[in-house]
Structure 1
């Protein structure tokens, strides 16, 4: 059956086959003997059909999920600019000028306007045009908080927003859209499934394309791999665009997949377990007063309940605590958190996530004007550092605008890859012989049966390990294998009852 009007240039036996037409059928004795005789070259040749089949099915079924992730991620990357437009009144002062009021006076102004919550965090302005943020813990809001925005020059409250870990409602909405499409558990499963299969799609595509490029004459293989052939037409031109763009974006896509999985529900839990066993988790600041037991929930205090009932007003000491922290070298954007209880100290944390990051933390005893424990960026393990930096890059924060533009280009490029992948599938559809098939014929099934035994012995445990580390990849892969096996059984039953189906020629039989 013809699937395209053009054919690829011939390839050598060691590379992926250039012919786009696939045939099913059992391996012939001649083909089996050739595998044994050729040794490693034949073993490598038999891997390509399996790689092609995995890439094909993963692309067809997971690409819609990836398209949604690209679109929502594209919007989320520019949330700082969107927040500045939507929440200008809250985030920016009316007029820059004069001397700033004491931080304590600003906290009192926020409490006077919103007495319903306890102070959880105070965030001084990052620059001269920004407002001070006083974050209140309100029992009715659950995990979310109420952030009051105060003009540091006038003490006037410019507004309040319901925030989630410091994020505005718009950013929170876009974050949830990217993570779960606002579908709860089902949506989070979609997101993690897409990120899990992205490794298979990108890795398989790179293997096939770079392997194919070695066999072209004329321009060098490297140039052919990095730039599509302008003289190609039809499905070859579409495949060239699809593959070359995948080469350019492959590393970034794999990195985004890995960093996204670190905070997913299932693969993220595996990652957290690994960090714990390696003792590579991020260190926590000890805010316990000497001779007391630390308060439950850790010592950061950034999103906890704030000062307990019956303690002194946290506004009384906030200026002193900030001055001590500045004197200890905590420059740049900071968050100041009051003690959780009488046995705890104040905590001050740098929150500058742009490179080079400033993420030191310090505990401060306001009553004795002394500092307590300290955690510096250097105290983080290499795995904790890599995780933190990767997440910030994934969110578009690490390098500012260049980071955002790179993520935008990657998202748009991924949409282009998906479009050309589906177009290539459509171009390979039967045109005459079989009108019942609407789209291109998939690669032949049963490819694993021709793999060398040594490769199977090594590959099966590796797949099981990957399936354990990335559970949704393992589960969906099992579902695919079951569906594929069921389809094969049904097809064999249909072909057994039809006397008009010609078997594939022995020299073209695959798998």
Structure 2
């Protein structure tokens, strides 16, 4: 019987003379290539959903202004009514629920928002925003609102689709999984692109897989920093990695402080301010409370939160998330109208500021329209990279099938002095980012098992061929 080769038909042909072994960090390239290939292959569908919904979310800010123009804007009048009169008009039209906050008209042509909580038919973590003409007191409509940026139904729907696919807490695993792996894929692709030893890195004049690879690599290299940023900031408010990040910030004394809602004063340091219940007309009233906040330098836009109970103070906080950020807050005694506590954004810990800026940049509010356009371009780049990635996989085949996988055993080429610290770093990172660590460990186990099975089959085939 003739002797058969141990190589299977789906493996790449081996060169007659093997190349000399790589040294140092160059030995990591095959390992990074294999990781980039498989991570891109299996994570790409999740990233594609995140990219498409993220693109829609970035566009929803401008769409919201068009769709809800009647509720958001009014003709400019001569003089605005007192805030208390505007709240009274809102309560007359909508007596249901309780006033949880008031956002006075921040611009000449903007309405005042009176936020009601505990309204039947409105989600518990949402409010009903009643829009009032600040000049006439006429109610121009009421819409469900979500979050500190005041998202209305259109943006809220897209936001929840991007965050959890409208599946609730279980659905958030998809977005955290995508965010956990995006920086790995982007970083690996960047290393591979710059490690390619080519005299000329041009797309012009090439065709087929080489052209696709050139487009994929060039766009990926330019967009990699943006992808790493989106991944890092997205993880800050994810379910598992976000909790670990919050715990780390707290242990370092870098958590976000809040003004004390205790009418007696003193910084609380941590913990949420009162955000529901109470009476918007309690004590000295909204107008004197707002005047006290203005005297402390709190300019528009602001949100006034009524006292939660008899022992609590009013809280007035700036809610501008565009640059420059306005995040100062004060507490005002409802009995005297005096400011009992002041918290400046400038006094926030550094990591708290960075977290705030990162989230606002991620959500498209920090630099307004420019920020939103940049996010849409990043999302479009990610969509193209995924399409090109799958196309390259197809082009690696023989015209009618997807291409061969990257060969196993790349980790065996890495020297121990590099491999051991690398594994230790991955273990620590996997602990803090579990939706990276757990799938990666599962991939390694499955890959080792499949490799061992293939090795044994090859030995049996080779042994049978020699008999």
Match of 2:47 among 33, 52, 66: 66
Q: Is the 8 A contact 2:284 2:336 kept in 1?
A: no
Match of 1:307 among 264, 271, 278: 278
**Structure 1: gaps spanning 5 or more residues:** 1-20, 36-40, 504-511
Match of 1:245 in 2: 219
CA offsets 1:33-91 (integer angstroms, 9 cap, x no match): x65xxxxx613332111010000001111111111111100111122212112222221
Which one is further off, 41-50 or 119-128?
41-50
Alpha-carbon distance in structure 1 between the residues aligned to 2:318 and 2:134:
20
Seen in structure 2, the aligned counterparts of structure 1 residues 499 and 335 have a Cα distance that, compared at 3 Å, is: same
Q: Is the 8 A contact 1:56 1:443 kept in 2?
A: yes
Match of 1:289 among 242, 263, 267: 263
Which one is further off, 395-404 or 282-291?
282-291
Displacement after TM superposition at 1:293 (Å): 12
TM (norm. structure 2) is 0.90
Match of 1:115 in 2: 95
Displacement after TM superposition at 1:128 (Å): 1.5
Alpha-carbon distance in structure 2 between the residues aligned to 1:314 and 1:327:
20
Q: Is the 8 A contact 1:108 1:315 kept in 2?
A: no
Seen in structure 2, the aligned counterparts of structure 1 residues 340 and 124 have a Cα distance that, compared at 3 Å, is: same
Match of 2:107 in 1: 127
Q: Aligned pair 1:336/2:320, yes or no?
A: no
Match of 1:76 in 2: 57
CA offsets 1:214-253 (integer angstroms, 9 cap, x no match): x333x5xxxx3xxx43122221111110001011111111
Displacement after TM superposition at 1:415 (Å): 0.9
The secondary structure found in structure 1 opposite 2:23 is: helix
Q: How many residues are treated as equivalent by the alignment?
A: 450
CA offsets 1:468-502 (integer angstroms, 9 cap, x no match): 01100001111211221232233234434435999
The secondary structure found in structure 2 opposite 1:279 is: coil
Q: Is the 8 A contact 2:283 2:334 kept in 1?
A: no
Alpha-carbon distance in structure 1 between the residues aligned to 2:30 and 2:236:
31
Matches within 5 A, 1:344-383: 344-383=312-351
Alpha-carbon distance in structure 2 between the residues aligned to 1:427 and 1:325:
64
Match of 1:172 among 137, 153, 156: 156
Matches within 5 A, 1:434-453: 438-453=401-416
Match of 2:4 in 1: none
Alpha-carbon distance in structure 2 between the residues aligned to 1:233 and 1:171:
42
Seen in structure 2, the aligned counterparts of structure 1 residues 193 and 292 have a Cα distance that, compared at 3 Å, is: closer
Q: Aligned pair 1:414/2:387, yes or no?
A: no
CA offsets 1:453-477 (integer angstroms, 9 cap, x no match): 1112211111100100110000111
**Structure 2: gaps spanning 5 or more residues:** 1-10
Alpha-carbon distance in structure 2 between the residues aligned to 1:130 and 1:501:
82
Match of 1:4 in 2: none
Alpha-carbon distance in structure 1 between the residues aligned to 2:267 and 2:194:
59
Q: Is the 8 A contact 1:335 1:348 kept in 2?
A: yes
Seen in structure 2, the aligned counterparts of structure 1 residues 292 and 273 have a Cα distance that, compared at 3 Å, is: closer
RMSD value over aligned CA atoms?
2.5
Displacement after TM superposition at 1:283 (Å): 1.1
The secondary structure found in structure 2 opposite 1:77 is: helix
Match of 1:106 in 2: 86
Match of 1:474 in 2: 437
Match of 1:459 in 2: 422
Q: Aligned pair 1:390/2:366, yes or no?
A: no
Q: Is the 8 A contact 1:306 1:339 kept in 2?
A: yes
Alpha-carbon distance in structure 1 between the residues aligned to 2:283 and 2:92:
12
Alpha-carbon distance in structure 2 between the residues aligned to 1:316 and 1:368:
7
Seen in structure 2, the aligned counterparts of structure 1 residues 22 and 378 have a Cα distance that, compared at 3 Å, is: farther
Alpha-carbon distance in structure 1 between the residues aligned to 2:267 and 2:291:
27
Displacement after TM superposition at 1:366 (Å): 3.9
Displacement after TM superposition at 1:314 (Å): 3.9
Match of 2:177 among 193, 198, 220: 193
Displacement after TM superposition at 1:24 (Å): 8.5
Match of 1:428 among 396, 402, 407: 396
Q: Is the 8 A contact 1:288 1:299 kept in 2?
A: no
Match of 1:18 in 2: none
Alpha-carbon distance in structure 1 between the residues aligned to 2:420 and 2:457:
33
Q: Aligned pair 1:48/2:21, yes or no?
A: no
CA offsets 1:353-376 (integer angstroms, 9 cap, x no match): 111111100111243231111110
The secondary structure found in structure 1 opposite 2:141 is: strand
TM (norm. structure 1) is 0.83
